Structure 1
Amino acid sequence: MPDLSVGGQAVIEGVMMRSTDRVSTAVRRSDGTIEVRNEDFVPISKRKKFFGIPIVRGAISFVEMLIIGIRSLNYSAEVAAADIEREQGKDVEADKPASSTSTMLILTAVAAIALGVGIFFFLPLWFSSLLHVKKDALSFNLVAGVFRVAMFLVYIWAISHFNDLRRVFQYHGAEHKSIWAFESGKDLLPEEAQKFTTRHPRCGTSFILIVAILAIIIYSISDTIYAVVTGAPPTLPMRFLVHFSLLPLVAGGSYELLKLSGRTRENMITKIFISPGLWLQAMTTREPSLDQLEVAIVALKNSLRMEGQSEKVIIEK
């Protein structure tokens, strides 16, 4: 079986793929060509021994993927905007100022993180504190965890009904199908990839559910330790600070569990463990077209440095 160290993300009219040493983002242009941006990228866990330690590498990988994901999404948005401007007869600058792009990237990342922390991190703690269960660490974090998952499910359900996001979900399915074809040793052709399922055990959707479950366990333990040491349960602000400081541990542990589930996906216990994430992918993926699979395969081939590109593929210089 090929090396499993490959993953990706759907972007606007395209797919980003990441191998062990390269990130490739392929985007379908309005003229039918496929534009690709390749970036050499070796994770710090491969370059520095300390950052390769289990749990630590997971936390670092989470941050790296967040940055790469936002950059790839930003790139695809720029390509889409350029196509719209060309169709409207406007002049499109070949190269936009790097400082402007970097500033927008930083602002987007900060806004996304702040919104995510506020909605999916602090709000569940606040809701749980209203139920007066703060003295029982397990009950408090169980309520917060269930509320967090419920909010996430409602969010996914809501955006899955947006027609504008349907093509993104199709590209998400194309990403999974092409990876399945690669992992199964099949020819990387749209017709071959189409035979596979759109659901994949190492998907980020599954990762989020694992994070939610592991957070309940770790935060219950930390709250119990705090209560034993101080003689009182943590206040809401203190609980937020403690939980937030432990987020790298939660992310790192979830990363290790996700990798383990990918290696042992034929195990019955693993199948049960990953099944909720696979069910959830029914909302976050759609069956892709052959054209969309072609884009995903182009991204995958470029990330793996494979030869044999179509004439429609334009490599960004």
Structure 2
Amino acid sequence: MRYSGVGGQAVMEGVMMKNQEKYAVAVRKPDQEITIKVSEYKGIIQNKKIRNLPIVRGVLSFIESLYLGMSTLTYSASFFEEEEEGKAPKEKTKKDEKKDAAVMGGTVVFSIVLALAIFFVLPYYLSGIFGRMIESSAILALIEGIIRLVIFIGYIALISLMPDIKRVFMYHGAEHKCINCIEHGMELNVENVRKSSKLHKRCGTSFLLIVMLISIFFFMFIQVDSRVLKLVLRLVLIPVIAGVSYEFIRLAGRYDNWFVNALSQPGLWMQGLTTKEPDDEMIEVGIASVEAVFDWRAWQKEA
């Protein structure tokens, strides 16, 4: 069985698991029933040669993960909106699906623009305050990177205090624990998942933190006088930085040695904020989402 690593995301009262082109969303509905939706997503570009190109595959993976994350989050939230409004779910027409896809695409674009503004444009201009006292571009880039990290960590810490987000982070923990359980050769059941780690080196949180760290080194080498051009170059380089960060996360997930583990440690520390210990009902949802897309028993026999 071909296996490149089952990946997932937490959603509202549920978990999304993806294995190659197949993904499943398992949601614990208000009536406590677990509902599972299995779908296929072939990605923005279907040409396998292009999709497997180093750096390029990281950029595509980031955009596609964001799209799927938004889509599955909207899907899972719909069950609770219907419960509050007292409405039964209605069957969607092709027109409704096209409309949802257009809205989702717009949401993804808006989210990317907002993230760039908060985590890249804002730190760049705030670091300019020190420009009158510091002439070294490299030191200013380091200060900019520190500001970016503070904003990023502060943002995660702040939203983790919200009750709904805390539950999402608990499902995030269930997702990681399920994957760790499988990858450590244990039978996928509640007891084994419960004692598995909630931290994982291939996590999206680690990816985002690596993006923040690698961007510092990239931006240190931008030596131009125009501040506008510096900003433009920073934005242009972001896809490259995302691609390099993806390659690192991919490498970290495939190797287990002291060097890779040391480089992965900051991301694992960051997961202390974005993953929480789940309860058994959340673990059941995670197991349901894994089993909908991945024959873990067959894989463990072949591994």
Q: So what's the TM-score if we normalise by structure 1?
A: 0.86
Write the letter of the residue equivalent to 1:216.
Answer: I
Q: Would you say the 8 A contact 1:85–1:92 is kept in 2?
A: no
Write the letter of the residue equivalent to 1:93.
Answer: K
Partner of 1:85: 85
Q: How many residues matched?
A: 294
Partner of 1:120: 119
Q: Does 1:289 pair with 2:286?
A: no
3-state SS in 1 of match to 2:15: strand
Write the letter of the residue equivalent to 1:72.
Answer: T
Partner of 2:300: none
Q: Would you say the 8 A contact 2:38–2:292 is kept in 1?
A: yes
State how far apart, in whole Å, the 2-side matches of 1:118 and 1:131 are: 20
Q: 2:293 aligns with which of 300, 303, 308?
A: 303
Write the letter of the residue equivalent to 1:263.
Answer: R
State how far apart, in whole Å, the 1-side matches of 2:250 and 2:296 are: 25
Partner of 1:313: none
Q: CA deviation at 1:283?
A: 1.2
Q: 1:280 aligns with which of 270, 277, 280?
A: 270
Q: Would you say the 8 A contact 2:67–2:104 is kept in 1?
A: no
Q: CA deviation at 1:107?
A: 3.3
Q: Does 1:40 pair with 2:40?
A: yes
State how far apart, in whole Å, the 1-side matches of 2:279 and 2:272 are: 17
Write the letter of the residue equivalent to 1:106.
Answer: G
Q: Deviations over 1:66-113 (max 9, x none)?
A: 111111111111222123333xxx454333722442343233223322
Q: CA deviation at 1:306?
A: 6.8
3-state SS in 2 of match to 1:131: helix
State how far apart, in whole Å, the 1-side matches of 2:264 and 2:296 are: 31
Q: Does 1:71 pair with 2:71?
A: yes
Write the letter of the residue equivalent to 1:279.
Answer: W
Mark the CA change 1:42 to 1:183 in structure 2 (over 3 Å): closer, same or farther. farther
Q: Does 1:141 pair with 2:151?
A: no
3-state SS in 2 of match to 1:260: helix
Q: Would you say the 8 A contact 1:4–1:183 is kept in 2?
A: no
Q: Would you say the 8 A contact 1:25–1:72 is kept in 2?
A: yes
State how far apart, in whole Å, the 2-side matches of 1:59 and 1:163 are: 32
Give RMSD over aligned pairs: 2.2
Partner of 2:301: none
Give the gaps of 5 or more residues in structure 2: 298-303
Q: Does 1:249 pair with 2:248?
A: no
Write the letter of the residue equivalent to 1:125.
Answer: Y
3-state SS in 2 of match to 1:200: coil
Partner of 2:15: 15
3-state SS in 2 of match to 1:10: strand
State how far apart, in whole Å, the 2-side matches of 1:140 and 1:192 are: 48
3-state SS in 1 of match to 2:202: coil
State how far apart, in whole Å, the 2-side matches of 1:166 and 1:20 are: 28
Q: Would you say the 8 A contact 1:15–1:296 is kept in 2?
A: yes
Q: Would you say the 8 A contact 2:182–2:296 is kept in 1?
A: no
State how far apart, in whole Å, the 2-side matches of 1:12 and 1:305 are: 25
Partner of 1:101: 100
Partner of 1:130: 129
Mark the CA change 1:306 to 1:258 in structure 2 (over 3 Å): closer, same or farther. closer
Q: Would you say the 8 A contact 2:67–2:105 is kept in 1?
A: no
State how far apart, in whole Å, the 1-side matches of 2:295 and 2:33 are: 19
Q: Would you say the 8 A contact 1:46–1:52 is kept in 2?
A: no
Q: CA deviation at 1:44?
A: 6.2
Q: Would you say the 8 A contact 2:10–2:168 is kept in 1?
A: yes
Mark the CA change 1:146 to 1:7 in structure 2 (over 3 Å): closer, same or farther. same
3-state SS in 2 of match to 1:93: coil
Q: Deviations over 1:140-191 (max 9, x none)?
A: 2111111001001111111111122221111000000000011112111121
Partner of 1:312: none
Q: So what's the TM-score if we normalise by structure 2?
A: 0.90
Mark the CA change 1:255 to 1:158 in structure 2 (over 3 Å): closer, same or farther. same
Mark the CA change 1:110 to 1:56 in structure 2 (over 3 Å): closer, same or farther. closer
State how far apart, in whole Å, the 2-side matches of 1:202 and 1:149 are: 20
Q: 2:258 aligns with which of 268, 279, 282?
A: 268
Write the letter of the residue equivalent to 1:142.
Answer: L
Q: CA deviation at 1:212?
A: 0.9
